[in-house]
Amino acid sequence: MAVRNLTVCITAITRPEVLKLTLRSFARHCFRGYDGVHIIGNVDPLGSDTASRDDVVRLLNAHDSRGQAQINMPETGGFARAVKWVWSQVDAPYFLHLEDDWFLNRPIDVNRVSRLILGGEADIVRLYLRRYSPPPSTGEFSLNPFFMTSTTAHDLVSRMNDQADPEKQIRGLFFAGADKLPRIAFHGQPGDPADVTDIGTLWRKSQCLKKSYVKASDDSGALSVWQKTAATNLRSRLSDLSYATRFNLSMLRYRLRLMGD
């Protein structure tokens, strides 16, 4: 029992150097387990001053089997709107949800994923960013990369608003004991290494971007926003330079890892 063509929903901003590593790692360790890959991407107008959203779209098209990803480029950004848009476009039995800043460390057992989801054992199969020791709680929801049924995605979209952080909204459903909550399983087994690594935090710090939360305009919760910070003294300028250097070294390290796989 398996799905031969994989739909991938990606939320991205303008940081093609990060997205390129994400896509290459998933192409190496996940996409090749399927006959074809269709990409649905939302690219928000935020990110690097030295690249454009067209650079991001070219990367997404390059990893779509037909060379034509389904793309949304809104005039104004919004994480909740981005997630809702990509999920609402899916009509496959299940899909991979992916943000643009995750490195896949090891091969995905696509047969296990299909067995768990298509066999009715889970609605979501999460990839984990820590070693599976001890194994995580099965009820823990996160927007870290995961596979999910389109039925579950469409149901969650209907319960989300455009303002508040989507992860916090969905976690709120679990905390409130809402009806028809998705069943969550994990890709790995006890003792397995981490599936994925976050490669976006250093990029954000190297760009002097700070994540903060503001009250949603409709009082529906907190909205996460990125704000540009300016170095005000020598110490902060040196700190910015340190993050930029660390980011460049991390990109080199991950590129070398892909060459050695």
pLDDT digits (tens, 9 = 90+) for 224-239: 665 666 555 655 555 5
Length in residues, the chain? 261
pLDDT at 260: 76
**What residue type is assigned to position 155 of the chain?**
D
Burial of 23 (0-12, 13-18, 19+ CB in 10 A): buried
- Element housing 175 (H / E): helix 166-175
Residues 193-201: what's their mean pLDDT? 93
In order of 6, 35, 83, 256, the CA distances from 27 in angstroms are 11, 12, 22, 16
Higher pLDDT, 46 or 66: 66
pLDDT at 9: 98
Lowest mean pLDDT among 76-85, 126-135, 231-240: 231-240
Ordered alpha helix ranges (H), the chain: 16-29, 53-62, 79-88, 110-118, 150-159, 166-175, 201-206, 234-260
Domain map (residue ranges) of the chain:
5-198, 201-260
pLDDT digits over 152-173, tens only? 999 999 999 998 899 999 999 9
> Could you tell me the two tokens for 25?
């790692």
> Residue 114 above 90 pLDDT?
yes
pLDDT at 251: 84
> Residue 191 above 80 pLDDT?
yes
Residues 30-39: what's their mean pLDDT? 96
Percent of the chain's residues with pLDDT above 90? 61
pLDDT at 206: 82
> Residue 40 above 90 pLDDT?
yes
pLDDT digits over 64-76, tens only? 999 999 999 999 8
pLDDT digits over 241-257, tens only? 677 788 888 888 888 98
Top-tier CATH class for 5-198: alpha beta
- Element housing 94 (H / E): strand 94-99
Contact 90, 153 (CB under 8 A): yes
> Residue 220 above 80 pLDDT?
no
pLDDT at 104: 97
pLDDT at 212: 62
Higher pLDDT, 53 or 219: 53
